[in-house]
Structure 1
Amino acid sequence: MARHRLAWVASLALAIASSLATPGVAQKGLAAEGARINALMSAGKYSEALPLAQGMVASLEKSDNGRDLAAALNNLGQVYAGQGHDDLAEPLYMRSIALMEKSLGLDNALVAAELTNLAALYQRQSRYAEAEPLFKRALAVREKSLSREHPDVGQALNNLATLYVKQQRQLEAEPLFQRALAIYQKAAGPEHPAVATVLNNIGQLDRDLNRDADAEAPIKRSLAIREKVLGPDHPDVARSLNNLAGLYEHQQRYAEAEPLYRRALMIRERALGPDHPDVAISTSNLGYFLYASGRTADALPFAEKTLATNRAQLRVVLPILFAAREQALLANDEALNQALAAIQRGTQSSAASAVNKLAVRLAAGSDRLAELVRKDQDLAAEAEALDKAIIAAVSKQAAQRDVAAEQRSRARIAAISSERAGLQKTLAVEFPDYASLSNPLPLTAKEIQPLLSADEAMTVYSVLDKRSYVIAITRESVDWKEIPLGADALAQKVTAFRKGLDVGKARDASGKSGLFDLALANEIYTALLGPVEGLTREKRSLLVVPSGALTALPFHLLVTETPEAAIPDTLEGYRSAAWLLRRQAISVLPSVVSLKSLRAFARKDQGVKPMTGFGDPVFNPAQGGPAERRTAGGKVAARSIASIAYTDFWRGAGVDRARLAQALPQLPDTADELSAVAKDVGATEADIHLGRDASETTLKRAALAQYGIIYFATHGLVAGDIKGVGEPSLALSIPDQPSELDDGLLTASEVAQLKLNADWVVLSACNTIAGDKPGAEALSGLARAFFYAGARALLVSHWAVDSEAATRLTTSTFDLLKSEPKIGRAEALRRAMLAYLDDASSPRNAYPAMWAPFALIGEGAVR
């Protein structure tokens, strides 16, 4: 589905939408102008429609006719969306919805059109979780206020089915498409453009389900209807041509596919202009088709044209660029830099974005300018959160809506817009580089190399659907290799790799079932680093920029040589494995440009105090203080409650913190951990917060920006683990009376509001590398939040850590830094892990789940 985009409903909305005009001369004029705008959009003539739509909005802005203004805003939004300017369309759609609901009520069928257009925008941006409830509400509103056989209900069914296909939910989509087709054929006749749209989608669905024999007829019928009714040069004709070409390509009928792809591209370029997203889709489709047909030289211009649009379709351009380089159709440096640029544009993670925002503040130089930048960034984040809240609200049924709260949110967004406009003017004068730094250009290989030391190598990964790529960069040279594993295969291997990383395996070594697989660790090493081993193996430090499933891969546990056995006979057998960590210190970077962000803009004025720490929180107030608990004896707990039934912890819609408090094991050893680290770095006792003092209240009231190290030693809760906790959190002391300031859980969104100036943040807790929601890419949760707050490096964990092991590893890391401060954080962590691994006093020490839970994210060197 990625290459052959399903037909969208803009033509449907224009063909069968009800008129919004009411009787009267002025209204008739508006209706005529609206009809003219719609006719131009139907013909794909967006540039002609734009000034008319803008003029209509301007003429209605000062009137009190909210309904007509809503319709005009909706039209203008459709014009912008048709031109590929979703950023301009989105606020118009949202304003249109608010006005239409105010004028007509929440359940009027006309509101559904606005909901549909906003949902379509989110679908184009792959924001499926936001699109689905909007589509569903539009369907519910239409079914409630119109007959179930009304064409608008057919449109809503088609829309929802299209979204399901995007989400790989074809079996749910099929009956919706069939129902929509029946409605349209009955209401509008067998040759209506709406019928063609649904037929096109049904054919695509058949092809997705490998029912090629069934797919051809509906797509051909769709094409015939569109050519007859809309004319041979209409953009909707190009949609059917594109999908028929895709079917023929799938059937290896290449001679029939190529002229269809070329005609679709020609129609779109002529009708929509060279910068339209549909033109980019046709360009990349034709380019990939030519590449897949073995015609790399013919494909290359289309790949370069796709790159020039700044819409990096990695799945298309990287294979073509790689083949062109291999066949000497492109110079090595040129191919590499184009590939690097495409990767950097196409894989911007939330953590990478947070690092860049930090870099902009650091580049501001003065504290005053940095504060202004932070204020602008915070306001932008607040407006985005309010936007999402409004979207969630308008997706609900009328009985579930809080209209007053929505109005307050809209008023706040307007106030933020005004405040940001003033800030932008000030920054434009005092910090003219703000705009360019906020959207940095991709780095070339020659720009990356000087940022690396002589002992460093960087590996940049791009994980695609059928294959992946690695680019290795050192100060002296660059190389680029293909990895014959796609996204699904790598995700499966990473999942299997992580299965053995359970501290319980080290406690119960009976049998080999479920133990860490050394052969798989070597297989993944061979695939990911083997191709560029010549560049990387002699460097003492390896900087990894992962993507996709690789963000959850602890690279330091890869095995560089074939093991004697996949599963050793004893736990001691793991000690002699050729761990990558024995050769190199590993740091993970959220993006390529974050290397520059963390090094070129590093602040020289370090925190005036060495460290503040929070540990041994009181989860159950009935228990004694830290000293009493440490002397009470008992088994050391794991910093995870993964074995607890989380269903025990919710009450209604939220967390029952009383029950959670009883379930969270106390962590008395964390007090010793913090005290030992504080001694190493010279922190005072007053800066270490234990027991009840290890609370959100203490944290949020502290002047955190004055500390070089922020240290948390506690339980980490992964997003989705507990109902009511929708994002990753750190557990601090649970107060007797929870409040908005302090409820005992420091969530990722609360972290993002902190103001730090930290060399690094230590998260000595469970799985703190995890994503911001179940299934999300790693690094998108606490890591993103702490980077945004002002951390330049993070120590995070990949799994539920043994508390005793965590204490030993972290204190050892800081001991090493104290004795040899110039070795850097990544190397100190490497040595601490190896010392644990090589300690033969216990067989458990050799098992990787014990000695290897931590990873260094961000700047690992001394700067």
Structure 2
Amino acid sequence: MDYLSRAITVADGAFGGAVYNWVKTRQRMRNNAAFSADVYRLEALVRELSDRGKDFSIAEIEARREELAAQRQQMRDKYPEHYADLKSDYSIDLRQIQRARAADSSAVIGFYGNAQIMYRLFVSADTIDLTILDDVKDRVRTLSEQLPELRDNAADPAPFHAALREIYGHLFSGIDGLLPERLHIIANDYLEQIPYSALRQDREGEAPRYLGVEKTLSRQFSLRSMELLQDIQLPDVQAQPLALAPVFENELLEASALRQAGFQLPPLLYNAEEVTTLQSIGPGRFYLANRATLRNFLRHADRHSIIHLATHAISSEVDGLASRVYLLDDAGQPVSLYAADIGNQTLNADLVTLSACETGAGSQHVVEGTVGLTKAFIAAGARGVVASNWAVDDRATAELMETFYRAIDAGQSPPAALRTARRTYLARHPEAHPSRWAAFESYGGRGIPRWEDAYPWWQSPWAYAALALFALLGAFWGVKKIRHA
């Protein structure tokens, strides 16, 4: 078991080390202003060097690379305890993982694969199992690559559903009967792109049983970051939502660097409903239409426990850090919030919901996997992110988000609330295609977000009624004094 723990530590660190390092770094940045300033200075150099819009000469590039290397060495020399902590604290004890799973009646499943090998790690309250899946890796890769095209073939959904059944059969063979109610899924490479919530547990001809409806699923980046995101203590902030829903008018954008060249931002007819749902639950900061600006986001993002962005997004398959969500500038025109810039401030949110298309996608790094908006918000300090795996239907999303947030308000975690939202949607629309309800998944932290949904006494209806009464009495008393005079 010790050998297996050491082997998993190496694999886990390779695939999830970057997220773990950023979570640890953000925590130190919150507590050390000088360290925070040095990190921002270093990141500015990285962004400048990677800016494709700047025409650097070879000599200038080399000079900046040397400067970057020198700055990194200065950081190591100035904060040796931080870098020592990153190395010494990254170890996996599978027995400890098992005890944690017994405590919360859950299981963690890691799917790891590349061109040469595929294997599955399963840890539950009473089982630690490592299974080699080489005999099905080529078939699973082929199916995973076919899924987007099959999903978008609305005229013939049968092949898509057949693929979802087959993938489930290959990946969960031997553990199907061992699955508890709560599952934490880690996956890398092509396995990361599989929509686990939509996988079908039923056999052909049986009533549909989708994994993300039958079970509560959370998506994790690694075993170690899963523990860290759960345990980390965030500072006290306003335990209320910051929500933005901009309005668009068919703006045509130039996006030649992205997959969607000439991407158009059509009007969103139902995104405002998502924000009004949050407003109906309780207080917060809510920005609709032309008030949903990048300026308002940047002004308040680090002060809220919940952030909700109901907008458009583009995920770049070329450069994940060029992935973006769209807000508005002060003139009401679309402006980009890039993944590369999200970390310019440290967030303290328990939950960031990216209610937009393909916010869980991005470019594929050979080691780190998908690099895009989801990891950018986690690296910026958010505990958890809810993001979509494909283009989502505006109306269906509004309906899902209403159920999701009412479940959060009732005390459910984001993974559990998403399961509730899926079940509720299917109860209302039993024939709905998974493309309408299975896109969103919960990444990272799985605790209940801080949310004070009651208004402070001075903002309550009773307070306003009392103020109105005092004003009326004051006016009456003033009139009485004048008449007496």
Task: Tell me the TM-score range normalised by the shorter chain.
Answer: 0.7 to 0.9
User: Of 691, 694, 697, which aligns to 2:289?
Assistant: 691
Please report how far the alpha carbon of residue 417 of structure 1 lies from its aligned counterpart in structure 2 after TM superposition. Answer: 5.2
SS at match of 2:288: strand
> Contact 2:309 / 2:354 at 8 angstroms: preserved in 1?
yes
Contact 2:383 2:444 in 1 (8 A): yes
Q: Return the offset for 1:487.
A: 5.6
**Alpha-carbon distance, 1:818 to partner:** 1.7
Q: CA deviation at 1:735?
A: 5.8
1:536-572 CA-to-partner distances (Å, cap 9, x unmatched) read: x2x111000101111111111111131218xxxxxxx
Number of the residue aligned with 2:43: 381
User: Does 2:376 match 1:788?
Assistant: no
- Contact 1:467–1:485, Cα closer than 8 Å, also in 2: no
Contact residue 451 and residue 595 of structure 1 kept, 8 A: no
Q: 1:368 is matched with which residue: 31, 46, 53?
A: 31
Kindly indicate whether the alpha-carbon contact (under 8 Å) linking 1:466 and 1:485 is maintained by their aligned counterparts in 2. no
Which residue of structure 2 aligns with residue 557 of structure 1? 198
Whether contact under 8 Å (1:783, 1:794) holds in the other structure is yes
- Matched residue SS, 2:175: helix
If each structure's strand is expressed as a fraction of its own residues, which one has the higher value?
Answer: 2
Name the SS of the counterpart of 1:766 in structure 2. Answer: coil
Q: CA RMSD in A?
A: 3.4
- The letter for the 2-side match of 1:457 is A
Mapping of residues 693-772 of structure 1, within 5 Å:
693-700=291-298, 702-719=299-316, 727-733=322-328, 736=331, 744-772=335-363
Aligned partner of 1:545 among 183, 186, 204: 186
Q: Conserved in 1, the CA contact under 8 Å of 2:30 and 2:346?
A: no
Q: Is the CA contact (8 Å cut-off) linking 2:109 and 2:184 kept in structure 1?
A: yes
Determine helix, strand or coil for the equivalent of 2:267: coil
Q: Secondary structure at the match of 2:441?
A: strand
How far apart are the structure 2 equivalents of 1:341 and 1:462?
A: 13
1:785 Cα shift? 0.7
Closer/same/farther in 2, CA of residues 372 and 525 from structure 1, 3 Å limit: farther
Per the alignment, residue 469 of structure 1 pairs with: 119
CA contact (8 A) 2:42 2:68 kept: no
Q: CA deviation at 1:469?
A: 0.7
Do residues 806 (structure 1) and 397 (structure 2) align? Answer: yes
In 2: Cα distance, 1:847 partner to 1:335 partner: 44
Task: Tell me the CA shift for residue 519 of structure 1.
Answer: 2.5
Q: CA deviation at 1:360?
A: 4.0
| 8 Å contact from structure 1 (residues 359, 598) kept in 2 | no
Residue 817 to residue 780, structure 1, CA distance change in 2 (3 Å): same
Normalising by structure 2, what TM-score?
0.81
For residues 168 and 436 of structure 2, what CA distance do their matches in structure 1 show?
21
Distance 1:776 1:650 in 2: 30
Contact 2:107 2:124 in 1 (8 A): yes
How many corresponding residue pairs? 445
Paired residue type of 1:689: Y
Q: CA deviation at 1:466?
A: 3.7
Alignment CA distance shift 1:529-1:617 (3 Å): same
Q: CA deviation at 1:497?
A: 2.8
**2:9 matched to 1:341?**
yes
1:210-359 → structure 2 map (5 Å cutoff): 333-348=1-16, 352-359=17-24
CA contact (8 A) 2:49 2:61 kept: no
Please list the CA deviations of residues 727-762 of structure 1 after superposition, one character each: whole Å capped at 9, or x if unmatched. Answer: 211121256598xxxx61111111122321000100
Deviates further, 434-443 or 748-757: 434-443
User: 1:616 touches 1:668 (CA, 8 Å); kept in 2?
Assistant: no
> CA–CA distance in 1 between the matches of 2:75 and 2:368?
31
Distance 1:831 1:389, change over 3 A: closer
Distance 2:41 2:73 in 1: 11
Aligned to 1:72: none
Change (3 A) 1:491 1:373: farther
The Cα of 1:416 is off from its aligned counterpart by 3.8
Q: Deviations over 1:455-477 (max 9, x none)?
A: 21001122032431111112333
Cα distance in 2 for residues equivalent to 1:448 and 1:691: 46
- The answer to whether the 8 Å contact 2:238/2:304 transfers is yes
Matched, 1:833 2:422: yes
Classify 1:463/1:418 alpha carbon distance in 2 versus 1 (closer, same or farther; 3 Å). Answer: closer
Q: How far, CA to CA, are the matches of 1:577 and 1:725 in structure 2?
A: 35
Residues 708 and 485 of structure 1: CA distance in aligned 2, closer, same or farther (over 3 Å): farther
Q: Deviations over 1:491-519 (max 9, x none)?
A: 321122333333x82xxx5xx2x555222
> Counterparts in 2 of 1:55-74, with a 5 A limit?
none
Alpha-carbon distance in structure 2 between the residues aligned to 1:609 and 1:619:
33
Q: 1:404 and 1:523 mapped to 2: Cα distance? A: 54
- What is the CA deviation profile of residues 244-266 of structure 1, one whole-angstrom value per residue up to 9, with x for unaligned ones? xxxxxxxxxxxxxxxxxxxxxxx
Amino-acid identity (%): 21
SS at match of 1:550: helix
Kindly state the Cα deviation for residue 375 of structure 1 after the two structures are TM-superposed: 3.5
Cα distance change on mapping 1:853 and 1:715 into 2, 3 Å: same
Contact in 1 for aligned 2:241/2:306 (Cα 8 Å): yes
Give me the whole-angstrom Cα distance separating, in 1, the residues matched to 2:203 and 2:18.
38
Amino acid at match of 2:109: T
TM-aligned CA deviation for residue 672 of structure 1: 1.7
The AA in structure 2 aligned to 1:501 is R
Output aligned runs, 1:488-567, within 5 Å. 488-502=138-152, 505=154, 509=155, 512=156, 515=158, 517-535=160-178, 537=179, 539-564=180-205
User: Does the 8 Å contact 1:793/1:859 carry over to 2?
Assistant: yes
Q: Which amino acid aligns with 1:581?
A: G
Q: Which residue of 1 aligns with 2:454?
A: none
In structure 2, what is the equivalent of residue 8 of structure 1? none
- Secondary structure of the residue aligned to 2:151 is coil
Distance (Å, rounded) in 1 between the aligned partners of 2:447 and 2:330: 39
The answer to whether the 8 A contact 1:494-1:549 is kept is yes
Instruction: Determine helix, strand or coil for the equivalent of 2:428.
Output: coil
Q: Indicate the SS of the match to 1:780.
A: strand
1:299 corresponds in structure 2 to none
Deviations 1:189-232 (A, max 9, x none): xxxxxxxxxxxxxxxxxxxxxxxxxxxxxxxxxxxxxxxxxxxx
Q: Residue 418 and residue 595 in structure 1: after superposition, are their counterparts in 2 closer, same or farther (change >3 A)?
A: closer
Q: Secondary structure at the match of 2:150?
A: coil
Q: Note closer, same or farther for the CA distance 1:403–1:519 as it changes in structure 2 (3 Å cut).
A: closer
| Equivalent in the alignment of 1:847 | 433
CA distance in 2, matches of 1:774, 1:433: 25
Larger gyration radius, structure 1 or structure 2: 1
Q: Answer whether contact 2:365 2:371 (CA < 8 A) is retained.
A: no
Structure 2: unaligned runs, 5 residues or longer: 450-485
Contact kept in structure 2, 1:619 and 1:732, CA below 8 Å: no
Partners of 1:689 and 1:521 in 2: CA distance: 39
Q: How does 1:388-407 map to 2 (within 5 A)?
A: 402=57, 406=61
Q: 1:474, 1:725 → 2: CA distance?
A: 34
Question: Do 1:618 and 1:734's aligned partners in 2 also have CA atoms closer than 8 Å?
Answer: no
Q: Which amino acid aligns with 1:683?
A: P
Is the 2:108–2:183 contact (alpha carbons within 8 Å) kept by the matching residues of 1?
A: yes
TM-score, normalising length from structure 1? 0.47
- What residue is the counterpart of 1:579 in the other structure? 210
Q: From 261, 273, 276, give the equivalent of 1:672.
A: 273
- CA gap of 1:712–1:456, structure 2 versus 1, over 3 A, is same
Q: Which residue of structure 2 lines up, in the alignment, with residue 859 of structure 1?
A: 445
Q: Distance in 1 between matches of 2:394 and 2:376?
A: 24
